[in-house]
Amino acid sequence: MTAIFLKNFPEIVKRKIELVTQNMYNKARICLTGEMTMAEKIILTGDRPTGKLHVGHYVGSLKRRVELQNSGTFDKIFIMIADAQALTDNADNPAKVRDNIMEVALDYLSVGIDPAKSHIFIQSYVTELTELTFYYQNLVTVSRLQRNPTVKAEIQMRNFEASIPVGFFNYPISQAADITAFHATAVPVGEDQEPMLEQCREIVRKFNDVYGETLTEPEIILPSNQACMRLPGIDGKSKMSKSLGNCIYLSDEPEDIKKKIMSMFTDPTHLRREDPGHTENNPVFIYLDAFCRDEHFAEFLPEYSCLDELRAHYERGGLGDVKVKKFLNNVMQEELSPIRARRKEYEQRIGDVYDILKAGSEVAKEEAAKTLSEVKHAMKIDYFDTPEFLEEQVKKYSE
Ligand code: ATP
Ligand code: MG
């Protein structure tokens, strides 16, 4: 019936009508398969295994993930160890990536990611992601990738200007594949990932526009506290980052944490205790913003009742850096001590951690394979999955 109806239209109009019909069909399918599909809330997020995780990851993303995981409002949660992405700028150092798979998994478990609620998986095992990336590449222009502010900043940070590996340049596209493969609706990450999410949404819109409603547009979930958006390094550099070696790691021993905090960059104009100081752009105060709660004052610094009072004293002068740093050390030791203890327990059960990764990777692979078939169906390259292709060809050659 549709075929007879379409016969009288030019090709371009036919294609448009087909797309509209397919969109209507997909929307109807979602409605018909029930509320569950429409309302499903899915998280995808992850980290590169380029080092142990640090407190920037903790306040910027991990803490939130655990809260969301335990809130019970998400139907599925996928947490990815992005080894394939890590290789895009570490191609000559595969040992580094391999060595850090377990480190990142241990960090996840130690902060409270629960394998009974969240699937932790290894990116390269889910080969479907590479296939999706390959198709999405056709929907993005080189100039659009060049304009991506995160890619720009990272190229500069790695001194890649003259020799950017193609894989690295492409990684926003592969990140879109990671997110869409799970039909993720929410991506809890740090602020630096915002341009990536925007690029992903563009790919989704373009794909759905060209091939029919198939992919899901994700939303970013940023930390609610400004200080946690982009925690600076202990050297005062704009971002704590594994690649910059300016980190306090979640697994650091108490003495190392103390040493790092006591050597932290503060306000360079605050030379003597009596001098008025600046708290803005002062990493020690940014860390306090990210970590300290009013109860910490009662416990460790009862002369003050809250951070605003401490800040005001520092700004008017008469408060030394050492005292503030000692307080920060107490606060951070309290937060990190149970995490470190849990990590030590999991370190004694590496076989179990391995099984958790394997099981999570199997689930992720199955899920991504479903999306890949939907994508291939939408793109009309599902030749052997349904009898349609053969039927079409038989009909064509018998006419
Ligand atoms: P690399 O140097 O290898 O890129 P990284 O330290 O930047 O490592 P990623 O694995 O790239 O860490 O980032 C993982 C997640 O942690 C992302 O969601 C990112 O936004 C968040 N994140 C990383 N560093 C910080 C930070 N300093 N403050 C807040 N969030 C951060
Ligand atoms: Mg990074």
Tell me the average pLDDT across 181-190: 94
User: Which pLDDT belongs to residue 226?
Assistant: 84
Tell me the average pLDDT across 212-239: 90
Find the residues whose C-beta lies inside 6 A of ligand 1.
Answer: 47-48, 50, 56-57, 60-61, 189-190, 192-193, 230-231, 239-243
pLDDT at 27 over 50: no
pLDDT at 243 over 70: yes
As a whole number of angstroms, the distance between CA 57 and CA 249 comes to 9
Tell me the average pLDDT across 359-372: 98
User: Which pLDDT belongs to residue 30?
Assistant: 45
CA end-to-end distance (rounded Å), the chain: 17
Chain-wide mean pLDDT for the chain?
A: 90
Query: Which residue has better confidence, 23 or 151?
Result: 151
Tell me the average pLDDT across 107-113: 98
Residue 28 — very low, low, confident or very high, per pLDDT cuts 50/70/90? very low
What number does the ligand 1 atom closest to the CA of 228 have? 29
Report the separation in Å between the CA atom of 255 and the middle of ligand 1, taken as the mean of its atom positions: 24
As a whole number of angstroms, the distance between CA 363 and CA 256 comes to 38
User: Which pLDDT belongs to residue 26?
Assistant: 43
Q: What is the pLDDT of residues 320-350, one digit of tens each?
A: 999 999 999 999 999 999 999 999 999 999 9
What number does the ligand 1 atom closest to the CA of 45 have? 18
Q: Whose CA is nearest to atom 13 of ligand 1?
A: 47
Amino acid in position 21: T
Q: What is the pLDDT of residues 263-304, one digit of tens each?
A: 998 999 988 888 999 999 899 999 999 999 999 999 999 999
DSSP letters, 135-199, are HHGGGS-HHHHHH-HHHHHHHHHTT-TT---HHHHTHHHHHHHHHHTTT-SEEE--GGGHHHHHH
User: Which pLDDT belongs to residue 139?
Assistant: 97
As a whole number of angstroms, the distance between CA 325 and CA 284 comes to 7
Adjacent-strand bridge partners of 221: 188
Q: State both tokens at 33.
A: 């398969």
User: Which pLDDT belongs to residue 10?
Assistant: 55
Q: What is the pLDDT of residues 49-70, one digit of tens each?
A: 999 999 999 998 999 999 999 9
As a whole number of angstroms, the distance between CA 246 and CA 235 comes to 6
Mutate to test the pocket of ligand 1, among 45, 53, 57, 230 (most ligand atoms within 8 A of CB): 57
Handedness of CA 135, 138, 144, 145 (dihedral sign): positive
Q: Which has the closest alpha carbon to 211: 174, 167, 180?
A: 180
DSSP reduced 3-state for 249: strand
Q: State both tokens at 235.
A: 């050297």
User: Which pLDDT belongs to residue 207?
Assistant: 98
As a whole number of angstroms, the distance between CA 19 and CA 107 comes to 46
As a whole number of angstroms, the distance between CA 100 and CA 82 comes to 11
Tell me the average pLDDT across 384-391: 94
Cα 153 → chain centroid: 17
User: Under a CB-based contact definition with an 8 Å cutoff, are residues 42 and 76 in contact?
Assistant: yes
Which positions ≥6 away from 357 have C-beta within 8 Å?
81, 101, 105, 120, 121, 122
Tell me the average pLDDT across 99-124: 98
Tell me the average pLDDT across 356-371: 98
User: Which pLDDT belongs to residue 36?
Assistant: 41
What number does the ligand 1 atom closest to the CA of 243 have? 2
Q: Whose CA is nearest to atom 19 of ligand 1?
A: 190
User: Which pLDDT belongs to residue 39?
Assistant: 65
Report the separation in Å between the CA atom of 36 and the middle of ligand 1, taken as the mean of its atom positions: 33
How would you class 331 by CB atoms within 10 Å of its CB: exposed for 0-12, middle for 13-18, buried for 19 or more?
A: buried
What number does the ligand 1 atom closest to the CA of 50 have? 3
Report the separation in Å between the CA atom of 318 and the middle of ligand 1, taken as the mean of its atom positions: 36
Task: Tell me what percent of the residues of the chain surpass a pLDDT of 70.
Answer: 90
